[in-house]
Amino acid sequence: MDLRESLGKAVVALKAPLGSADREQGWTDELRREIQEEISVSRSMLRRPGPWAVSYLHPRLDEWMAREGVQPGRLRDVVMDVQTLIIGARDAARSRQQC
């Protein structure tokens, strides 16, 4: 699965209504929409300018969720997986640019 596909799956997961477990983990509808939008913007950046744009992405979703008090769980795992993939792709792109 490529990065854009992973971002798309995260967007779908974040568009779904929150369950009681999600709310217990600190998610609110507003936070869910904001993070979904942030991931959507990243996906659009990779689609429109192209994959090279990944080097300009600086996700801080972990810090954002920590400030909001989000606890470990299904949605947090989805978001953290996306952040990890973005950072890995960004670092790889930067390495290729330096060669």
pLDDT in tens, 8-17: 999 999 999 9
The structure tokens listed for 76 are 């947090």
Please report the pLDDT score of residue 4 as a whole number.
87
Top-confidence residue, 46 or 52: 46
At residue 92, does pLDDT exceed 70?
Answer: yes
Secondary structure class of 69 (helix, strand, coil):
coil
Residues 10 and 79: beta-carbon distance below 8 Å: yes
CA–CA separation, 33 and 47 (whole Å): 21
Percent of the chain with pLDDT over 70: 97
Please report the pLDDT score of residue 1 as a whole number.
61
At residue 88, does pLDDT exceed 70?
Answer: yes
The structure tokens listed for 27 are 């998610």
What is the number of other CB atoms lying within 10 angstroms of the CB of residue 11?
Answer: 19
